[in-house]
Structure 1
Amino acid sequence: MKLNTDLRLIKGEETYSRILLSAIEIISESGISGITASKLSLVSNVSKSNIFHHFKSTSEIPKAVLDMIIRELMKPIGGPNANSLDDYLNSLGYSIVNISDEYKKIYKSFFSFYHESMFNETYQKILGEYLNASKADMTKQIKRYSSKSLTDQEANTISTLILTTLDGIGLHFLMKGDKNEYLKVWKLQVEFICNSIK
């Protein structure tokens, strides 16, 4: 009996993830307002009744999508083990630009939420919490990898510079798509940061 229950839970989790991934695809193509039960059912190949088994209404789906995107975007900030601050910062740039077409959908959706957060307090609050968590994690990593002893304030200022620059590069990359150009831009930024704290 427990095995059957476990399998149902796994299947339910897979369906839930499929709904959210399909919602990301829709948002990346037509924005948050593009999410409807009919379109989501078509893209995910999940029946409307099953969608509403997981969500009371389609209005709940964008927040769940944003939570999923944020968990994904936080991964590179925690960072794999790097040899230096230079290595760590370069890995952040690659995580924004050196990505597959499928992964671009995550960033397109993220920027859709960014835009909507100017008018929607719920998204604004979630993204504000994401920014604070990102800065806290990044500040720890910068202090960890820097060859110079930095104060929390100095590392926090560098984190703010990095996050705002990455957002700008990510947005322009999605519009223009010239990976090599933006990797060069990021390399210059990394050199500037590393030289400024030597």
Structure 2
Amino acid sequence: KWISVLDKVREIASRIDLQKIIVVPGSPDRPDLTGIQNSVLLEDFLVDAGDIDFVPRSFMDPVYIMYSSGTTGLPKCMVQGSGVLLNHLKEHVLHCDLRKEESTFYFTTCGWMMWNWLVSALAVGSKVVLFDGNPFHPGPGALFRLAEKEKCNVFGTSARYFAALEQSGHDIPGEHNLSSIRAFLSTGSPLLPEQFDYIY
């Protein structure tokens, strides 16, 4: 089911001062941006894009401001320096063996720190595969159908998702051709031995 959030965008845009709001449509229809100040569709923004002006930055200059989940106490604000981007690149290239023009997927929201890690894969030249919706709809294999279709080489999600998938009885190798996947990644909580055995 398609749910438009443009009314929310209009409300937020009316309350804050932004230089530009780039709208990425999720449907083939061209959305009506009336009332969204300084807004532009992604395709129009790219047409007018000029050369990128790179500015040297210090290793410690802030690049991300994130908040902990609060599972071990009160939520904490964390400011990450731009050097973290080098660490992300190292993890993609050395730890995940991700290569140019391959595909990587991590089931995450934009608010989780894994989003920052995922989009950093673009620095490798990798394609980033995104999923918006319920990972169990339609059926428990939704993410694996996506990974199969996109021929993902790296597949990441939470340990909780793997546990829920195991509890559902979904037969991953019996229902999906995942021969393109070289690495399964898990974070958010420890992956239990049973889930490790289930995945591999």
* Shorter-chain TM-score range: under 0.3
User: With structure 2 as the length reference, what TM-score do the two structures score?
Assistant: 0.21
**Larger relative contact order (C-alpha < 8 A, sep ≥ 6)?**
1
Q: Which structure is higher in strand share?
A: 2
Q: Which structure is higher in helix share?
A: 1
